[in-house]
Chains A and B, each alone.
Chain A
Amino acid sequence: MKKTILLIACATLASCATHLPTTEDKLELEGLNKKVAEAKSLGAERCAPAELAKAEVKALYAAHEIEEGGNYNMDEAQALIAEGLDAAQAAKTKCTAKKEKLTPVAKPKPNKPKAKAKPTVQPIRSYTNSEVIDLKGINFESNKATLTASSKETLDQAVLILKKRANIQVEVAAHTDSGGKASYNEYLSGLRANAVKDYLVSHGIEASRVTAKGYGEAYPIADNRTREGRAKNRRVELIVK
């Protein structure tokens, strides 16, 4: 009898246990706040007020849930963050579309002698207009497609994001710097994109939701003449389709 009472008491206590907010939850909330700020900077108060308000209030509510401490409900906070992210993305998409619509078509100018174009760095992410999830911290062994141990932490975050946003499909886009032959860089980035895809799939993401593509050195985001620039250009991103 005593044992039964003890067992029931333990089970009751276990069911009453609450989760404490983790650093991951706080980081995700920071990510949402960043997205809200980005949407605001695009003028979302005017071009997407409903979506912005939804994202902002979800962020407030999630922060409130996380700060509640003892009454913290992890699933609830994560669901709020996911809904907020979707709303912030919708606001950004709406505002970007409106801006493109409003941009006047440039009139053809009379022929002028053209100055010789200087080689420039291509604009960031000129290869896509979709949402891009940066996977900062992914590194490979030199000239190989083998992920370093430190990269796995970032990839685990990506797995979490994809599990939460179960309705999105992504392309793993891998880029290199401009060192070496362009054809080799394209080949190597393809292998690296596939290595990332394999990791995501092996951690529970459906293969049908993920494609992989190597872009080689074609889309730099920084100057390849400096060491820092080259490090920035060697990157992996998830493009939301």
Chain B
Amino acid sequence: MKILLLLTVLLTTGPAFAGIESRADSVKASVQGKTDYHAHMARELVIVAQEEKDQQHLADAAVFMDEAEKHAAQSGGK
């Protein structure tokens, strides 16, 4: 029973964790070398999203990551 529960937790949270990380990498890559306001906003928001992810707050991490991606797009990086 315990093993089943652990497997369920792993299967449900695993992709979300990986999703935040891969999105973070993508945002960072898209604003690399850029120094405009939106690029800086994107980088700062990625840091916050990753902090939230580390605290297991995946929903909050996703919200900050959405914002980061919006800024990255405005910086012309996506």
Contacts and interface: CB of A to CB of B under 8 A. Distances in A.
B21 interface: no
B44 interface: yes
Main secondary structure on B side of the interface with A? helix
Contacts, number: 30
Interface stretch (B2-10, B11-19, B33-41): B33-41
B48 A61 contact: yes
Main secondary structure on A side of the interface with B? helix
Contact of B45 (A45, A52, A57): A57
Contacts of A50: 35, 40
Nearest to A40: B37
Interface residue tally on B, bucketed by range? 10 to 19
B37 A57 contact: no
Candidate in B37, B39, B45, B47 with the most chain A CB atoms within 10 angstroms: B37
A52 B48 contact: no
Contacts of A64: 60
A49 B36 contact: yes
Contacts of B60: 64
Contact of A54 (B35, B39, B44): B44
